[in-house]
């Protein structure tokens, strides 16, 4: 799978570790930065380009890491078409895809260990949206709202 990754200083080490594990498993990793550790960098500079790449289909899924995973998920969800969530357990990472079509998984590099993050990553990548009617119905309510916001912002320009 072609997977985009991004992290600020709070998630840099975990991103590097996960990227190595993913490459070992044969995935293609596209690194949206930061490419080097910078104690002063800002998570939106990596979360937003990665979320755009997921939304456009340039990469199939995304993984973001910041200190807590909160800032990264907040930023990524501002991009239309991105569905990002912070997960600390592999049930949520799998079910988030199956039920909610999650396409970006977020972690806290300062709040969780690499073993749990890797388990969550494998569950996330192994899962597919179920397409069940009730899940489509729920997701379409979210996507219709998102589309209406985008249209409203275009009309006000
Ligand atoms: C950066 O120090 C930290 O605030 C950031 O990585 C993240 O935890 C934000 O949610």
pLDDT tens-digit map of 101-147:
999 999 999 999 999 999 999 999 999 999 999 999 999 999 999 99
pLDDT tier for residue 13 given thresholds of 50, 70 and 90: very high
Q: How much distance in Å is there from the Cα of 70 to the middle of ligand 1? A: 8
Task: Report the C-alpha gap between 8 and 24 in whole angstroms.
Answer: 23
**How many angstroms from the chain centroid is the CA of residue 110?**
17
Does 93 contact ligand 1 (Cβ within 6 A)? no
Q: Which atom of ligand 1 is nearest to the CA of 108?
A: 8
Greatest Cα pair distance, the chain, in angstroms, is 48
pLDDT tier for residue 155 given thresholds of 50, 70 and 90: confident
Percent of the chain with pLDDT over 70: 100
- The pTM (predicted TM-score) of the whole model is 0.96
Task: Give residue 65's pLDDT.
Answer: 99
- Is 150's pLDDT higher than 90? no
- Quote the mean pLDDT of the chain: 97
Task: Give residue 151's pLDDT.
Answer: 83
Task: Give residue 53's pLDDT.
Answer: 98
- Is 38's pLDDT higher than 80? yes
Does 67 contact ligand 1 (Cβ within 6 A)? yes
- Is 58's pLDDT higher than 90? yes
Does 32 contact ligand 1 (Cβ within 6 A)? no
Q: Which atom of ligand 1 is nearest to the CA of 10?
A: 6
Domains contained in the chain, CATH given = 2-129 (3.40.1400.10)
Q: What separation in angstroms does the CA of 28 have from each of 12, 22, 78, 88, 149?
A: 18, 8, 25, 24, 33
């Amino acid at each position: 799978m072609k997977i985009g990754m991004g992290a600020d200083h709070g998630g840099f080490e975990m991103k590097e570790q996960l990227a190595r594990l993913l490459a070992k498993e044969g995935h293609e990793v596209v690194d949206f930065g930061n490419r080097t550790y910078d104690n002063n960098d800002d998570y939106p500079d990596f979360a937003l380009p990665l979320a755009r790449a997921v939304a456009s289909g340039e990469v199939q899924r995304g993984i973001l890491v910041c200190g807590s995973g909160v800032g990264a998920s907040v930023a990524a969800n501002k991009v239309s078409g991105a569905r990002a969530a912070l997960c600390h357990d592999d049930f949520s990472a799998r079910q988030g895809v199956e039920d909610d079509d999650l396409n970006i998984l977020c972690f806290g590099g300062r709040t969780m260990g690499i073993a749990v993050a890797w388990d969550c990553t494998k569950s996330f990548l192994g899962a597919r949206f179920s397409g069940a009617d009730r899940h489509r119905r729920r997701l379409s309510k979210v996507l219709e709202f998102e589309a209406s916001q985008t249209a409203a912002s275009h009309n006000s320009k």
